[in-house]
Structure 1
C-alpha cells in the first residue's frame, strides 16, 4: 500500500504526539499550508498531502468515475489514515476539503478527535427553500464554460476574486499559479463536483467536535453558510475572522493560527 504515499505525495513534519492532517481545497495543493503548518509542527505531527489529480500527486491514478463525487476524495483521506495507522486525528480542511473531512468523520468517527473547517460550504447553490449558498446555477455554468474555453483566463479571474486583495499581491499571484498548474480537465471535473455538491443532509450526522472558521467578507462562501453549519452541526463552534476573501490561512495566517490553537487548547 506504499503507493498511497506516492499517489498523494504525502509529507510528514513535526514530532508531536497528536497528528494534524491538513487538506487543501479545490485548485490548490499542500503548499497552501506553508504559512501556518510550520507553527503547528512545533507541537504536533503534521501530515500534508495532495489529492489525486492535484499538485505533485500521481496523476495517472486519477479516474474520472472515482472522483465524480466527494466520496473518491474522502477515500484518499481514509487511505492515508489507514496506511499510516493514524488515530485521534485533528483534521484541518479548507473549503471543499471541510466537507471531504466531514464525510470521512461520518464514515469513521473513531479516527477523528476534532474537525477544523476553514471557509466550508455544504452547498454552493442558492436554494428555493431560502438557503443562501452564494451562487446561482447560471453562475456555475458560466464558470465551468470559462474553464473549458480559456483555462488561464479563468485562473486570472478567479484568483483575485477569491484572495484578499488588500494583502500582498504576491499571494494572489501564488493562487493563480496554483490554479494554472492544475490539469485543466481534472480541475474542471473537480470544480463541477465542488460547486454542484449538496451535503446538507449529511451535516447532522457528524459526531466529531467541529470548529468553523469563516471570513466576515468571503467572496465564495457567504456568512449565512457558516451560520447554517453552526446551527446544524451538533457540536460546533463558529469563529468569524474580520477579513476578506476565501483563504484566511494565507492572507491572515497569524489570526487563523491563533483561532485554531485556542480551540485545540480548550
Structure 2
C-alpha cells in the first residue's frame, strides 16, 4: 500500500481494518516521508519516480514478497507500474486509487488538469512558504465536501514533510509524464476514479482505461482525491471484490 505525495502510511488506517483479516498488508513510508529515516534521502535518486520505484522493488526483494497486489494512491499508481515493469514476476495486479499518469495539460490530446505555470507557482510556494503551500493544497486535494478533521490530517502531513523533500517530490510528481507506461502494462489493473476530483479529473480515468490493457475503470460517487480516507467502506468493498476476481 503506497501513499501519495506529501502523505505517509497512516493515511491508510481507515481502510486497513477491512483488509487485514483477509490479506497480508505491507505499509511503508517513502524515504523523506512520515517516519522514514531522513538520512537515507538522496535528492538525485528521488528527483524522478524511478527512484521511488526502485525502493518498491527493494522492499519486495528484502521481504521476499510474491503474488503482490500493488495498491497505490495518486502518483504511486505510476510508481507501481514502474516497479512492476522492473520485476513483473512478483506482481499480480494493480489497484489504483485516483490515478493520473500526467498532471499537465498537454493539448490537444491530453488534459491532466494543470497548466505548467500553475505547477511552477506551487513549487515556488513550497520553497518560500512551507506552511502556506499545505494550506493551499490540502483543501484542493481533500475536496469541499469532506470533514475538517481529515483536512487537518492531510495538512499536518504536508507540513511535516521537509521542504527539500516536498519540493523534489512535487517536481517528480507534477512535471512527469508516464503515459507511455500505460500500453506496457502487463498486469490486470483496477482504476478507482472519484467522480469529483480537482487533482485527477474523471476524464483521466477514461483516458487510462482506453490506453491501458487489462484495466477496469470504476467511477465512484465520491468527491475528493483521497477517497481511501473519506470513503473507506466503498473503497474497501471495491478492492475486496477485485481481489476475489483476480486471485
Alignment partner of 1:256 out of 225, 231, 235 = 235
Does residue 73 of structure 1 match 2:52?
Answer: yes
Structure-1 residue corresponding to 2:208: 229
* Unaligned runs of at least 5 residues, structure 1: 1-21
Matches within 5 A, 1:205-244: 205-244=184-223
Supply the distance in 2 between the matched residues of 1:70 and 1:157 (Cα, whole angstroms): 24
| TM-fit CA distance, 1:41 | 0.4
Deviations 1:45-89 (A, max 9, x none): 110000111111111111011111111000110000000001000
Does residue 185 of structure 1 match 2:169?
Answer: no
Alignment partner of 2:67 out of 88, 113, 135 = 88
| TM-fit CA distance, 1:35 | 0.4
Supply the distance in 2 between the matched residues of 1:233 and 1:109 (Cα, whole angstroms): 16
SS of aligned partner of 2:145: coil
Alignment partner of 1:156 out of 126, 135, 155 = 135
CA contact (8 A) 1:96 1:121 kept: yes
Once superposed, what is the RMSD of the aligned Cα atoms? 0.8
Q: TM-score, normalised by structure 1?
A: 0.90
SS of aligned partner of 1:242: strand
Q: TM-score, normalised by structure 2?
A: 0.97
Does residue 141 of structure 1 match 2:123?
Answer: no
> How many corresponding residue pairs?
245
Supply the distance in 1 between the matched residues of 2:125 and 2:193 (Cα, whole angstroms): 27
Structure-2 residue corresponding to 1:126: 105
CA contact (8 A) 2:74 2:100 kept: yes
Structure-2 residue corresponding to 1:54: 33
| TM-fit CA distance, 1:165 | 3.0
CA contact (8 A) 1:126 1:132 kept: yes
* Unaligned runs of at least 5 residues, structure 2: none
Supply the distance in 1 between the matched residues of 2:179 and 2:121 (Cα, whole angstroms): 24
* Structure with higher RCO (Cα < 8 A, 6+ apart): 2
Supply the distance in 1 between the matched residues of 2:168 and 2:175 (Cα, whole angstroms): 11
Supply the distance in 2 between the matched residues of 1:253 and 1:262 (Cα, whole angstroms): 14
